[in-house]
Structure 1
Amino acid sequence: MTILAIPSPDSGVWNLGPVPLRGYALAIILGIVAAIWIGERRWIARGGKAGEVQDLAIWAVPFGIVGARIYHVATDHGLYFGEGRTPWRALYVWEGGLGVWGGIAAGALGIIVGAKVKGIRLLPVLDALAPGVLVAQALGRWGNWFNQELFGKPTDLPWALEVSDDTARDAGYAAGTTFHPTFLYECLWCLAAFALIVWADRRFRLGHGRVLALYVMAYTLGRGWIEMLRIDNVELSDVGGLRFNVWTSIVLFVLAAAYFVWSLRAHPGREEQVYDEPAAEPVEEPVDEPVEEPRDVPRTSADDRE
């Protein structure tokens, strides 16, 4: 047993009377609140209006949660379907199991819908929101700590993670085994990436989706090596010697890097307009009105008046 180690909570659920309070849900909610707060400040700084990020969150949050759950169930369907399994448990989001990639993709779709409704340009608002998502991911990973899940390989490092004996045995290891705290690694990586991206955005005034691309590159770079430490079983866990999520990270990193370079060449600088321009109203052609000819007015002279 490691003398210095990170203990896991005995329980991830606290009952307030008849209402269960789950650590996993609290971590997710706290992450969402942080992302909205950071995104709001950045959006206003980009020229947006206060309150619009909250309006977009009404679309993005439910889209993201549903997408994250669908991704998890699709890549770990053996946990819910098949002999001896309970398909209804696929709906039990509070028990853990949210796929980051599904959440990001579906959440972005929600933002696209919300931005279209409000007449907001998509790339500026995505650039404003992307760094805050890293903070949300950093906080959300602590939900894995409460649930004692998604930890890494055995280690005796001073910061190793302690789990319950049952959890260790379920993972195929002896009671008392300690593991890499991958949730902590990803939390710290996301916070470092957040600081780097915010600095780069202020220093170089990134625009046209380049903050979003930098976010994807930074996150996938860390997720790739952290994923290699994890020992949880997932479908498609070994494709060409790499876990499926490692391949996902590689592909997304390459695509984001290619977009960053293309955008830098095609659209240098930062866009100043963050709203769609209203459609120009048709200009009515002036109608020529007939001009009346002046009438000859008979003149009177002094002799006429006599």
Structure 2
Amino acid sequence: MHTAVHAPASIPSPDWNSFDIGPLTIHAYALCILAGIAAALWLTSVRWKRRSGPEDAIWDIAIWAVPFGIIGGRLYHVFSSPDAYFGPEGNLWLIPQIWLGGLGIWGAVLLGAVGAWIGCRRSGVKLSAFIDAAAPGLLLAQAIGRWGNWFNQELYGGPTTLPWGLEIDSGNPALPPGLPADTLFHPTFLYESLWSLAGVVLLLFLDKHFKFRHGRLFWLYAAYYTLGRVWIEALRIDDAELILGVRLNVWTSILVFVVSMAFFIALGLKWRNTGEPRSVYLPGREPADQEPGPDDEDRPSDDQQAAEAAEPTPGGTSRSTPQGTDQSAPGDSPKEAAQEKNHNDTETQGGAEADHRASVSDTRSEDTSSTLDHPKERDS
């Protein structure tokens, strides 16, 4: 009796990556990128509104950040994998054809941040406040955008026998030679997508409980993403620049992780217990009718501030200083308060004496005036 041998389960690759609408060709890769951008803008707008940010600013910033991010991502890919464009058989006309795949996340983040800075300056809001609001959305965009690699059958990992191995068409030019046609590969696009989705949940949880501000949530996003990117990148077998036998993107991820953690810690030490207002606006750009948002719930209300101002201080005086009351500062000792009172009494007495001297002078002036007006009375 023979036991049937079942092939391991696997993830099939799609048999299409584009479709036509009249003369227009729609690429699945581009749709994934656009879907990721839309999802990121939606999540960012929700978080931005909760931080009392101006709603119109999201779209004003996106107009600058999105194009800059796409250009930056493409440039990073081109210069980190130059053979297809500048090599002996390279084709420079492939550079603008981003629908064929190839966007480097670090170029997208770097140049996208430049575009976001321009948009923030024009909208009068802080870049640090915006990137904190956008951090979970960036991971969401990456989680969705990675599925474009699945449609293009690109950027997969080495051979595997795991049940979730990825099927790749035998005619794929990136397929390593000499492997059986039914070889399965690590679905690195799926690993990164799931890692990014988990990061969205983690960042939202941490932000809710710790309220990271001043750019700290953004740097935490960068550290989290690169932590996963190091091992995911090490699984890939596509052509890449090597430094000391290690893929360039692995070195980049390690460097960005170290820098991100350094900024995260440094900013935490700088702003700890400062009590700085959490306004999203640049100094001098706040609207006159701005109301506190949910992030201001930990601030004391006006009634609480008034009650605190009326409480007696250790020096025995009230924090409020209405007219006609002793205005000694909180914490003054009785001796200092007495000295202040004597000083005030001296000033009051001096003022009274000056008033008296002025009154006598006026009286004498009047007498002299009367004498001059009646000279006969003076002679008699």
Shorter-chain TM-score bucket reads: 0.7 to 0.9
1:140-179 counterparts in 2 under 5 A? 140-167=145-172, 170-172=175-177, 173-179=179-185
For 1:278, the equivalent position in structure 2 comes to 284
For 2:256, the equivalent position in structure 1 comes to 252
Alpha-carbon separation, structure 2, partners of 1:66 and 1:157? 36
Q: Give, in angstroms, the shift of residue 263 of structure 1.
A: 1.0
TM-score by length of 1: 0.87
Q: Which runs of 5+ in 1 are unaligned?
A: 281-306
Q: Deviations for 1:195-233, whole angstroms, at most 9, x for unmatched residues? A: 101100000111111100110111000000100100011
Alpha-carbon separation, structure 2, partners of 1:8 and 1:105? 32
Identity score, percent: 46
- Are the equivalent residues in 1 in contact too, given 2:154–2:174 (CA < 8 A)? no
Question: Structure 1 counterpart of 2:103, which letter?
Answer: L
CA separation of 1:271 and 1:143: change in aligned 2, threshold 3 A: farther
Q: Secondary structure at the match of 2:86?
A: coil
Alpha-carbon separation, structure 1, partners of 2:261 and 2:38? 29
Rg larger for? 2
1:133 aligns with 2:138: yes
For 2:237, the equivalent position in structure 1 comes to 231
Q: Which has the higher contact order (CA 8 A, sep 6+)?
A: 1
For 1:36, the equivalent position in structure 2 comes to 41
For 1:283, the equivalent position in structure 2 comes to none
Q: Secondary structure at the match of 1:165?
A: coil
Alpha-carbon separation, structure 2, partners of 1:164 and 1:279? 56
Q: Secondary structure at the match of 1:21?
A: strand
Q: Secondary structure at the match of 2:166?
A: strand
1:51 aligns with 2:45: no
Q: Give, in angstroms, the shift of residue 169 of structure 1.
A: 6.8
Q: Secondary structure at the match of 1:161?
A: strand
Q: 2:97 is matched with which residue: 92, 99, 103?
A: 92
Q: Secondary structure at the match of 1:266?
A: helix
Q: Over aligned residue pairs, what C-alpha RMSD do you find?
A: 1.7
- Are the equivalent residues in 2 in contact too, given 1:2–1:158 (CA < 8 A)? no
Q: Which runs of 5+ in 2 are unaligned?
A: 1-5, 287-380
CA separation of 1:131 and 1:271: change in aligned 2, threshold 3 A: farther
- Are the equivalent residues in 1 in contact too, given 2:174–2:238 (CA < 8 A)? no
Segments ≥4 residues shifted beyond 3 Å: none
Deviates more, 1:222-231 or 1:165-174: 165-174
CA separation of 1:147 and 1:164: change in aligned 2, threshold 3 A: same
Size of the alignment, in residue pairs?
A: 278
CA separation of 1:188 and 1:266: change in aligned 2, threshold 3 A: same
TM-score by length of 2: 0.71
Q: Give, in angstroms, the shift of residue 3 of structure 1.
A: 3.0
Alpha-carbon separation, structure 1, partners of 2:114 and 2:180? 44
Alpha-carbon separation, structure 2, partners of 1:75 and 1:232? 12
Q: Secondary structure at the match of 2:19?
A: strand
- Are the equivalent residues in 2 in contact too, given 1:165–1:175 (CA < 8 A)? yes
Question: Structure 1 counterpart of 2:255, which letter?
Answer: V
Q: Give, in angstroms, the shift of residue 268 of structure 1.
A: 2.3
For 2:111, the equivalent position in structure 1 comes to 106
For 2:129, the equivalent position in structure 1 comes to 124
